Amino acid sequence: MSVRKKYLIFDSSIAKNKPESIVNKDAVCPFCCREQLTDIIASDGPILFMKNKYPVLIDTFQTVLIETYECNAELSTYSKEHLYKVIEFGVKKWQEMVQSGEFASVIFYKNYGPYSGGTIRHPHMQIVGLKDIDYTHNIVAESFHGFVIHEQNGVELNLAEQPQNGFFEFNVRLNNMKSLHQMADYIQIIIHYLLHNFHKNCKSYNLFFYQIGGQIVAKIVPRFATSPLFIGYLIPQVSNRAGQVAKEIQNIYFSESQ
């Protein structure tokens, strides 16, 4: 019987050469120098899909989706046309890798800001094929349910009552691919809220996509310094302001007067 792997092996020798433009503002952005980019898989105008030049995760296939020409752009300010194009393109490429059958699972995510775990400021996402790890075995299904903030066209936006890592986790649950634009709208609203109305020190977030239980779910997580209780004991914490935050988002973005 084969043993299911639990860990990814990180290649530190490759990682030490990765460029960093989040912390180092003077660093040259590799995604702005498009004429120097290689291993391009597909493109659609400003959107570029390519192999990751620094594949630090062993036994994986790492790709990067560059979202725009603009280095200082941010998803919450995209026009609706570009927002939909980016999400559609990303989901399509993610699903193509899933359906290829080459991987145990495929993860699709976005890092933004100094606490997100990312290194490059230029807006991008990553799609990674995991050869030996099925991420769905690690997921707490209860973390996808919670206070319903809004629901439209069969898509639900909620704030997790039992977050996987703790504090605030926003979920967008999609049942029908025909409503992908609605999912994109909810993602953009939550990211805008986190960066502009949530907490003055919130400058980072992660966006994760999951295909689980017959649904596609997007989880948006504001990032701060990680709780030591979670690092040391795997004990997540839940904020007593969760209901208040859900109501605040309803009032700002979904009031009848808008």
Can you give the pLDDT at residue 60? 97
Given a cut of 50, whether residue 257 has pLDDT beyond it is: no
Residues 147 and 249 in one domain: yes
Share of residues in the chain with pLDDT > 70 (%): 97
Does the residue 239 lie in any domain? yes
Residues 132 and 195 in one domain: no
Burial of residue 145 (number of CB atoms within 10 Å: 0-12, 13-18, 19+): middle
Q: What is the CATH number of the domain that holds 168?
A: 3.30.428.10
Can you give the pLDDT at residue 256? 66
**Residue 52 CA: distances (Å) to CA of 124, 155, 227:** 11, 32, 30
Can you give the pLDDT at residue 16? 83
Residues 211 and 223 in one domain: yes
The C-alpha angle 190, 195, 197, rounded to 5 degrees, equals 80
Given a cut of 60, whether residue 131 has pLDDT beyond it is: yes
Given a cut of 50, whether residue 130 has pLDDT beyond it is: yes
How many domains does the chain contain in total? 2
Question: pLDDT band at 148, cuts 50/70/90?
Answer: very high
Query: What pLDDT, in 10s, does the model give residues 23-35?
Result: 776 788 999 999 9
Residues 174 and 229 in one domain: yes
Last residue of a domain, one of 75, 103, 136: 136
Does the residue 182 lie in any domain? yes
Q: What range defines the domain where residue 64 resides?
A: 12-136
Mean of pLDDT over the chain: 93
- Give the C-alpha separation, 127 to 62, whole Å: 6
Q: Identify any residues that bridge with 160 across adjacent strands, giving them in sequence order.
A: 146
Can you give the pLDDT at residue 95? 98
Query: What pLDDT, in 10s, does the model give residues 14-57?
Result: 988 888 877 776 788 999 999 999 999 999 999 999 999 999 99
Give the pLDDT mean for 100-125.
95
